[in-house]
Structure 1
Amino acid sequence: MPVTVTRTTITTTSSSSSTVVGSPRALTQPLGLLRLLQLVSTCIAFSLVASVGAYTGPMGHWSMFTWCFCFAVTLVILLVELGGLQAHFPLSWRNFPITYACYAALFCLTTSIIYPTTFVQFMAHGRSRDHAIAATTFSCVACVAYATEVAWTRARPGEITGYMATVPGLLKVLETFIACVIFVFIGNPDLYQGVPALECCVAVYAICFILAAVAILLNLGDCTNVLPIAFPSFLSGLALISVLLYAVALVLWPLYQFDQRYGGHPRRAWDVACSYRHTHSVCNWDRRLAVAVLTGINLLAYLADLAHSARLVFVKV
């Protein structure tokens, strides 16, 4: 009897990320050891930076927040598994650990790039700079550890697991993360205010982020059955809407930011602020370019999401 891929992928039982729970033996399992590495590396990273106060400015504070947040949540996950408290956890344990690991990998990857390029390179040689470089190294270690957990616990073909462990679920994490990075770059309202087409692009980023976040929260809360339509159909519709909206943004944002006929600045040299090297800051032209690139990347992510979501609904195996 044919079975739809929808049932195979979304119907969930136990998480493949489970280790031996309710016992210290959980820490000796491969996944437990991996999480210990995550815990230690993030702890060392923020400790090194905090000991010399090397986190001045927005980029420094962002890096410190990333390491502290990842350390705290990883500690919570370890304590829950050691105590065998998965059933009492307020979120779906089938979906939460891999969702968090994917976000943590992306956060640590971003921090490992942003912190040295916008902060460390401007520091004078000395103890503080050495600590900052060492912290960047441990941030990279944490990124690899989290990425390894994602690769270890993601769904395999034919495996019954939580939706967030599937390719579409992981793409949802990537989509929301890229949207957050876009929001950081467009934090200066001067980049889009007063231009309806650019304000439309900002609305696209916000709407698509909210839609993807809703899908993630429904899975984390095990609330997919509250929808008036089948969840796979909801995912396909969401991905289709996001693809169309991002396609519009991919046209409008570069057109109005870089085409001189529409008031754009086609050359970086035209932005006087880009002629100087400023600590902890990115000039407006670079912000515009970054948003354009991230818009294209997110469109590709949504296209892949649409292809996988449509396969969940229509393909039978």
Structure 2
Amino acid sequence: MVTLDFRTLTVPVGIVRILELILTCISFSLVASVGNSTDSFWTWCMFTWCFCFCVTFLILFLELFSLSSKLPISWEDFTAAFAMLATLMVLAASIIYPKFYTCSSCSKQIGATVTSCLAFILYAVEVGLTRAKPGELSGFLSTVPGLLKVLEAFVACIIFICLDSHKYSSYPGLQWCVAVYSISFIFALLVIIFTICRLLSLFPAPFDKVLTACNVLAVLMYLTAVVIWPLYSFKNNPRPSSCKAGFLCPWDNLVVISFMTAFNLCAYIADTIYSCRLVFFVSRT
């Protein structure tokens, strides 16, 4: 039987989600009113605001009608993972859109940027509200290692978007880097899917030990990628003179990949430290 639970709209996380709905709706409405564009960055920003609006609305709807508990998934893990993903996506949109589409006299574009930045702050607040507190029983994805898994998968997606197959297909070193990104991404994605779908019991070994071993392996692989990628990408390959300042050109994607590789290495190191702490210290005590 379906029952209305209005308390879900009045608790702090419910109020935050309602504000997220309003701000993401305002953002894509303002941008849509300016006009359409076939540019990939414009499409990404619009997709981000629409996607976050739709999923946030779905979460509020399911909780309001008490349907979330009837789903065959871990609801806490799903909402925590989405809050982290939305935070990262809206942050990227809040940086990309003003960089390429906002000017000093563009009032609607400026308004969309402001509301997008506010939405990012609210999603970050939601991450804080849904994150598991010390000593609290909760789903894996609401813990720090779980949130780091979402971050690692998102950064890998940015790397994949910037990759150009023509650039790395003839260099074994760059092919190894792509293999590093792919293997690490696949495992992070599997962890997220298995956690949300409550399938962790299918792992052939204790999950915490499997997670720690894979994190250590990912750190070692990313250590090689953080050296090999810039070495092969920028050797005898200065920034072309045709790349104008303030405009993104294909060469700049190499810089983005280098930065994101180093960033993901730091994320995997932090993830490994947390995992080792859970396995070798917390579990023993």
TM-score, normalised via structure 1 length: 0.85
Deviation of 1:276 (Å): 5.7
Deviation of 1:249 (Å): 0.7
Summarize deviations over 1:59-95 as a string: whole Å, max 9, x none: 1111000000000000000001101112222421121
Where does residue 242 of structure 2 map in the other structure?
273
Where does residue 192 of structure 2 map in the other structure?
216
Kindly tell me the number of residue pairs found equivalent between the two proteins.
281
- In 1, Cα distance between equivalents of 2:62 and 2:259: 39
Q: Structure 2: which amino acid aligns with 1:175?
A: E
Where does residue 312 of structure 1 map in the other structure?
278
- Of residues 246, 249, 262 in structure 1, which corresponds to 2:225? 249
Deviation of 1:274 (Å): 1.6
Mapped contact 1:35–1:78 kept (Cα < 8 A): yes
- In 2, Cα distance between equivalents of 1:198 and 1:171: 25
Q: Structure 2: which amino acid aligns with 1:314?
A: F
- Of residues 223, 226, 229 in structure 1, which corresponds to 2:205? 229
Deviation of 1:223 (Å): 0.5
Summarize deviations over 1:217-241 as a string: whole Å, max 9, x none: 1100010001110110111111011
Equivalent residues in 2 for 1:40-119, closer than 5 Å: 40-119=22-101
- In 2, Cα distance between equivalents of 1:89 and 1:44: 30
Which runs of 5 or more residues in structure 1 are unaligned? Answer: 1-20
- In 2, Cα distance between equivalents of 1:220 and 1:273: 47
Deviation of 1:119 (Å): 2.5
Deviation of 1:272 (Å): 2.7
Deviation of 1:213 (Å): 0.5
- What percent of counterpart residues are identical? 44
Mapped contact 1:191–1:284 kept (Cα < 8 A): no
Summarize deviations over 1:9-62 as a string: whole Å, max 9, x none: xxxxxxxxxxxx842232121111100001110011111111221544111111
Q: Structure 2: which amino acid aligns with 1:289?
A: V
Summarize deviations over 1:86-129 as a string: whole Å, max 9, x none: 222242112111110000000000000011112224xx94xxx3
* Match status 1:285 vs 2:267: no
Where relative contact order (Cα < 8 A, 6+ residues apart) is larger, the structure is 1
- Of residues 112, 117, 121 in structure 2, which corresponds to 1:135? 112
Q: Structure 1: which amino acid aligns with 2:197?
A: G
Mapped contact 1:98–1:153 kept (Cα < 8 A): yes
Q: Which runs of structure 1 show a deviation greater than 6 angstroms over 4 or more consecutive aligned residues?
A: none
TM-score, normalised via structure 2 length: 0.94
Q: Find the residue that maps to 1:104 and give its secondary structure.
A: helix
Where does residue 11 of structure 2 map in the other structure?
29
